[in-house]
Amino acid sequence: MIRGALTRLNRALAQFMLDTHVDQNGLTETWTPVLVRDEAMYGTGQLPKFEEDSYRTTNGWWLIPTSEVPLTNTVAGKILEPGTLPVRLTAHTQCFRSEAGSAGKDTSGMLRQHQFEKVEMVSITTPEESRAELDRMTTCAEGILEALDLPYRTVVLCTGDMGFGAQRTHDIEVWLPGQNAYREISSCSVCGDFQARRMNARYRPAAEEKPAYVHTLNGSGLAIGRTLIAVIENYQEDDGSITIPDVLRPYLGGHSRIAPDGQFA
């Protein structure tokens, strides 16, 4: 739980991310539910493999682990007409993960939570363009960190570290001085037609041509709680105050600093 100025800083981060993705990166903001049915979780690969990592309600609905689930399922069962791709979506939602089997220091504190906020990016595109779309999505996520002037690095995951539905994954890791380490803040993946086949999501390359499966991509743009940690740790002064990054100040009434007592200075 956070209060006071940090709460407003958290909200400002979410709004800044959405505005950047919509106004500069050309994504369409979308409102999504946080409760979905079995078929939506199956379509994006959460079921059956990751059932233990998710929360299920007593009536059989699932709390979304990320808005990738409802965003990607917007094309489930559809045949998209020529000229409609790529579809690029973004959403800010609460996310829920049980983290079954997790252990260690990351299970306490703000870094790994059962309920957290994220701004998600999803792209639906053609097989020919999906690899370039992954690079574009990665650049969109990196741009948020660059605008916040936070140190980061981007790594390409080996096959053994990727999700079973991904063809290629780029992890973006932000520097956290408190841990003296880089930690993941975004993971951008191209899933090829894996999800499309599960959802029966297709497109028509040209009029009268036979439909083909789309390619889907997803990525964090970014995880808000981890971005908040990165801002606090990278911008904290010797007296305990926090300097607010320039790009966030318009969202915070022009305030430039949070005092050690948690209020705007």
- β-sheet bridge partners, residue 55: 63
Task: State the Cα–Cα distance between residues 134 and 218, nearest whole angstrom.
Answer: 9
Tokens representing 249 are: 């100040």
Nearest Cα to Cα of residue 219 among 255, 264, 248, 185: 185
What is the phi/psi pair of residue 57, to 5°? -80, 170
Task: State the Cα–Cα distance between residues 214 and 216, nearest whole angstrom.
Answer: 7
Task: State the Cα–Cα distance between residues 54 and 168, nearest whole angstrom.
Answer: 24
Q: Are 232 and 225 in contact (CB under 8 A)?
A: no
Q: Which element (helix H / strand E) includes 234?
A: helix 224-235
Q: Is 40 left (phi over 0), alpha (psi -120 to 50) or beta?
A: alpha
Q: Is the peptide bond before 48 cis (omega within 30 degrees of 0)?
A: yes
Task: State the Cα–Cα distance between residues 168 and 185, nearest whole angstrom.
Answer: 17
Active-site annotation, residues = 97, 112, 184, 187, 226
Tokens representing 18 are: 């959405």
> Side chain identity at 148, as an amino acid letter?
L
- β-sheet bridge partners, residue 88: 123
Q: Which element (helix H / strand E) includes 170?
A: strand 168-176
